[in-house]
Amino acid sequence: DSGVTQTPKHLITATGQRVTLRCSPRSGDLSVYWYQQSLDQGLQFLIQYYNGEERAKGNILERFSAQQFPDLHSELNLSSLELGDSALYFCASSVAGTGNTGELFFGEGSRLTVL
């Protein structure tokens, strides 16, 4: 158990819909990262938050947005869903932000299926 909690574990929805994925980081970790894992693209970094502020942005679509709340949990919002958004979405956390030499701790992921 990494200490990172993600909900829901599975989600099935239709094209055009909007979903929210939730992540609670390990106790004491200030940074939260979102990754998308798909068969064709592998593990793609989406976005990072540190102590409530956006710190780094990766390959995140404009239809996707995220935020980190004062209690440090984070939400990833996916809207106008397309079939190609079907993937496993991981949240990870770490103690520090940039310049961190430590590892990321990953949750078990949220599997999104868009029909």
**Residues of this chain that bind other proteins (CB under 8 A):** 2, 4, 31, 33, 35, 42-43, 45, 48, 50, 55-56, 58, 90, 92, 94, 96-109
Nearest distance from C-beta of residue 22 to other proteins, angstroms? 15
Cβ closer to other proteins: 3 or 80?
A: 3
Cβ closer to other proteins: 85 or 109?
A: 109
Cβ closer to other proteins: 27 or 98?
A: 98
| Residue 40 CB neighbour total at 10 angstroms | 6
In order of 85, 88, 105, the CA distances from 24 in angstroms are: 22, 17, 11
Whole-number Å distance between alpha carbons of 92 and 44: 13
